Amino acid sequence: MNLSLRLRKFPLWSSVWFVIGILYFFMPLYATLDFSLRMERDKISLKAYQVAFSDGRFLDTFLTSNILAVATIIASVILIVPTAYWIRLRVPEARRIVEFITLMPFVIPAIILVFGLIRVYSTPFKIPFTDIVFLEALTTFEIGTDVLMVAGYMVLALPYMYRSVDTGMRTVDVRTLTEAAQSLGASWVTIMWRVILPNLRSALLSGALLTFAIVVGEVVLASFLGVDAFGPYLFLLGQHRAYEPAALSFIAFLLTWGAMGIIQLVTGEQGQAAGAH
Amino acid sequence: MAQLTLPAQKHHIRSFLGKWIGLVPFFLFALLFILLPSLGLLAGSFLDADGNFTLKNIAELFTTPFIVNAYKLSIQISSVTALGGGIFGFLLAYSVTVGGLPRPFRTAMITFSGVASNFAGVPLAFAFVATLGRTGFVTAILKNVFGVEIYQTGFTLYSFLGLAITYMYFQFPLMVLIMTPALDGLKREWREAAENLGASTFQYWWRIALPILLPSILGSMILLFGNAFGAYATAYALTGGALPIITIQIGAQIRGDVLHNPNLGYAMAMGMVFIMAISLAGYSWLQKFSERWLR
């Protein structure tokens, strides 16, 4: 009787699905790792990693992508934290419209966004009714392109960043904190820097890591705006090499894993999905 | 009278400005980098080569065979992976919530899902080449262990089926992430009440749990649809453009004017936005139903 009871209690189907799911997760990773270790004939070695890392173009593009990621994160925080704060404190009626805007990137995929950016910003800006150019086309000079890249990445990261910050503000009582700080004579800058931001630490960290995960491997914006970032580099490498792209793909996976792992540690929540598919 | 209301009005205006001024940077950003690019494409899709208003581009979306095929292919791949990923993701979410697997399995599944749903684009494509490519790991296992040479049976990774299998890698984890909280919302009392009234497990699922969950299941599948519909990098890295889905065609148009009509390209882009907007509207409509029972 005991055995049959135990058999009935054993969640057979659940276990089957679970095992298939885990296999689906790990097969591609294992295959990539396995492949990346076989650059040298008949032996396991880290040669592919050595070769990949010693390529100067890898270092350059990877550095570029990281700088872009950091710039995006900083700019997003500067834009979104005061906005979310202001909505909570002064104009709650703006919440719906701002939330709606932050969801727009779900309707406008990266390929459409870059198309639109190129259409609008690849012509010089003239003072209306004259031929006087007051701003060259952003796509024609480096700083202009960088501005477009960071702005585009900010748009792609907007839903995740805004949601993280807004959830973070919900858990701390922003109004009381502000009133307390004000009655102690703090200025707005002090309130932001010393009171609000520290209280949003874990929310900002998870928003920042998600943004990092989106930006570092991003291909669409970078390749169409002609920026030598890691994503396009990896793509080109895959056109004519076999083992090095596998090695770098595995590294990219570890980075994603690291980012998501830290998010889960600091927030104790389930991860969110983002990313440039 | 006029003298009385004027200062009040002034004060009103000033407090209105004072309230909204804090949102100016955000709205300016949204205007410059979301609204203007979208409007640029929208306006462009209604113009002809000389800048006059026309509906010809929109009409050509439905009559040019390769555009129709690109939309069709995109809708097919998105639907298939949304359905497949949705069902499989639901089963996984079920197995780690009410399915009776111990708690640590759930934590593991959620963590993996968080990682996998964010692992996409070029690295994902390369990972699947190493798995199911001609010399891939699983291809070799199937051949050496099971004696099945999948590339002899006509399978190739660089096809519709191959792309669908690859998309599934970020599709079903997203479903797991969305459905797990929804399944948590099923109250134990409902099951107990059903059992007390003599319902079988099947009856409980068919008559109670599924109808409650249906709006969230359908809504999540719509999200998966959009998730795949907007994807570009994975498909491009995997097939190199051999599978002409709509994002790939738009990409070709951005690279060089392959249509010989830039405005038709803008119209193609707007068609995509239109389909995405409809899906998101459908999602939020379904969301209302699911909130009635599950919060």
Examine residue B45 and state whether it is found in any structural domain, yes or no: no
Residues 6+ apart with CB under 8 A from B242: B158
CATH classification at residue A212? 1.10.3720.10
CA–CA distances in Å: residue A145 to residues A235, B87, B92: 21, 42, 43
B275 in contact with A at a CB cutoff of 8 Å?
no
Please give the tally of structural domains in chain A: 1
Range of the domain at A71: 56-267
The tokens for A214 are: 């989106």
User: Taking CA A87 as the corner, what is the angle to CA A81 and CA A90, rounded to the nearest 5 degrees?
Assistant: 125
Is A88 strand, coil or helix? helix
**A50 lies in a domain?**
no
B287 in contact with chain A, both atoms CB, cutoff 8 A: no
**Is residue A277 a part of any domain in this protein?**
no
Report the percentage of chain B scoring pLDDT > 90.
63
- The answer to whether residue B254 neighbours chain A at the CB level (below 8 Å) is yes
> Closest approach of chain A CAs to the CA of B1, in angstroms?
30
**Residue B286 belongs to some domain of the structure:** yes
- Beta-carbon separation of B126 and A25 below 8 A: no
pLDDT, position A247: 95
Kindly report the CATH number assigned to the domain that includes residue B75. 1.10.3720.10
Q: Cα–Cα distance between B212 and B221 in angstroms, integer?
A: 16
pLDDT grade, residue B11 (50/70/90)? Answer: confident
Domain assignment present for residue B10? The answer is: no
Contacting residues of B for A238, CB less than 8 Å apart: 122, 125-126, 237
The type of residue at B132 is: L
- What pLDDT is attached to residue B21? 87
The arithmetic mean of pLDDT across residues B80-105, rounded, is 93
Q: Phi/psi class of residue B155: alpha, beta or left (left: φ > 0; alpha: ψ in -120 to 50)?
A: beta
Identify the pLDDT of residue B217: 93
Is the CB of residue B283 less than 8 Å away from at least one CB of chain A?
no
Q: Is residue A48 part of a domain?
A: no
At B47, is the secondary structure helix, strand, or coil? strand
* Chain B: closest CA distance from residue A197 (Å): 17
List, for chain A, all residue ranges whose pLDDT scores fall below the cut of 50: 1, 270-271
Whether the pLDDT of residue B122 is over 90: the answer is: yes
What is the pLDDT at residue A267? 72
| Alpha-carbon distance values, B218 to B89, B221, B223 (Å) | 12, 5, 9
Which residues lie closer than 8 Å to A79 by C-beta, 6 or more apart? A154, B25, B26, B29
Q: Do A275 and B170 make contact, defined as CB atoms within 8 angstroms?
A: yes
**CA–CA separation, A222 and A65 (whole Å):** 9
pLDDT of res. A1: 45
Number of Cβ within 10 Å of residue A99's Cβ equals: 14
Does residue A258 sit within a domain?
A: yes
List of residues 6+ apart from A65 with CB closer than 8 A: A215, A216, A217, A218, A222, A229, A230, A231
Q: Which of B114, B122, B131 shows the shortest C-beta gap to A219?
A: B122
Residue in the block written with tokens 């990621």: A69
Q: Which residue has the higher pLDDT, B294 or A73?
A: A73
Locate A236 and state its tokens. Answer: 């080109």
Q: How near does any CA of chain B get to the CA of A184, in Å?
A: 23
pLDDT at position B2: 47
Average pLDDT over chain B, rounded to whole?
A: 90
Q: What pLDDT, on a 0 to 100 scale, did the predictor assign at position B1?
A: 44
Cβ neighbour number for residue B232 with a 10 Å cutoff: 25
What distance in Å separates the CA atoms of residue A245 and residue A242, rounded to the nearest whole number? 6
Nearest CB partner across the interface for B41, out of A21, A86, A116: A116
What values do phi and psi take at B29, rounded to 5? -60, -45
Angle at A171 between CA A184 and CA B219, to 5 degrees: 150
B22 and A90 in contact by Cβ < 8 A?
yes
Q: What is the pLDDT of residue B194?
A: 92
In chain A, which ranges are continuous DSSP H helix? 2-9, 12-36, 47-54, 56-89, 95-107, 110-121, 142-171, 174-183, 188-190, 197-199, 201-216, 220-224, 230-240, 243-267
Of the candidates B20, B92, B227, which has its C-beta nearest A21's C-beta?
Answer: B92
Question: Whose CA is closest to B33, among A150, A251, A146?
Answer: A150
Tell me if A273 and B170 make a contact (CB, 8 A cut-off): yes
Domain span at residue B154?
54-293
CB B65, CB B145: distance < 8 Å: no
Whether B241 has a pLDDT exceeding 90, the answer reads no
CA gap B68, B60 in Å, rounded: 9
pLDDT value of position B259 = 84
User: What are the pLDDT digits (tens) for B255-286?
Assistant: 988 888 899 999 999 999 999 999 989 988 88
pLDDT in tens, A167-199: 888 888 888 889 999 999 988 889 888 888 998
CB contact under 8 Å between B126 and A245, yes or no, is yes
**Residues sharing a CB contact under 8 Å with residue B38, sequence separation 6 or more, in sequence order:** A108, A112, A116, B273
Which pLDDT score, from 0 to 100, does residue B170 have?
Answer: 94
How far apart are alpha carbons B119 and B86 in whole angstroms? 18
Q: Judge whether B82 and B221 are in contact, CB under 8 Å.
A: yes
Name the domain count of chain B. Answer: 1
Of the partner residues B26, B40, B124, the one whose CB lies closest to the CB of residue A119 = B40
pTM of the model: 0.89
Mean pLDDT on B31-40: 94
* Residue B248 is assigned to a structural domain of this protein: yes
Spatial CB neighbours of A39, under 8 Å, sequence gap ≥ 6: A45, A47, A48, A51, A243
Distances (CA, A) of B249 to B168, B232, B245, B273: 22, 10, 6, 15
Q: For the segment B38-56, what is each residue's pLDDT rounded down to a tens digit?
A: 999 999 999 988 889 999 9
In the prediction, which pLDDT does A136 show? 79
> Does residue B258 sit at the A interface (CB-CB below 8 Å)?
no
Q: Does residue A212 fall inside a structural domain?
A: yes
**What is the signed CA dihedral for A82, A83, A89, A92, rounded to 10 degrees?**
-170
Query: In this model, does residue B238 exceed pLDDT 70?
Result: yes
Contact list in A for residue B36 (CB cut-off 8 A) is: 116, 120
Residue type, B71: Y
Q: What was the pLDDT predicted at A18?
A: 95
| B26–A83 C-beta distance less than 8 A | yes
Does any domain span residue B238? yes
- Residue A98 located in a structural domain: yes
The band of B173, judged by pLDDT with boundaries at 50, 70 and 90, is very high
Residue B290 has pLDDT above 50, yes or no: yes
Assess if residue B32 is contained within a domain. no
Q: How many CB pairs under 8 A join A and B?
A: 280
Q: Kindly list the residues from chain B whose CB atom is less than 8 angstroms away from the CB atom of residue A261.
A: 111, 115
How much is the pLDDT for A30? 95
Q: Which residues of B touch A275 (CB under 8 A)?
A: 117-121, 170
Contact list, A248 vs chain B (CB under 8 Å): 123
A8 located within any domain: no
Instruction: Give the span between the Cα atoms of A187 and B257, in whole angstroms.
Output: 54
What span, in angstroms and rounded, lies between the C-alpha atoms of B120 and B231?
Answer: 9
Identify which of A86, A106, A155 has the shortest CB distance to residue B226. A106
Say if residues A153 and A218 touch (Cβ distance below 8 Å): yes
Looking at residue B289, its pLDDT comes to 82
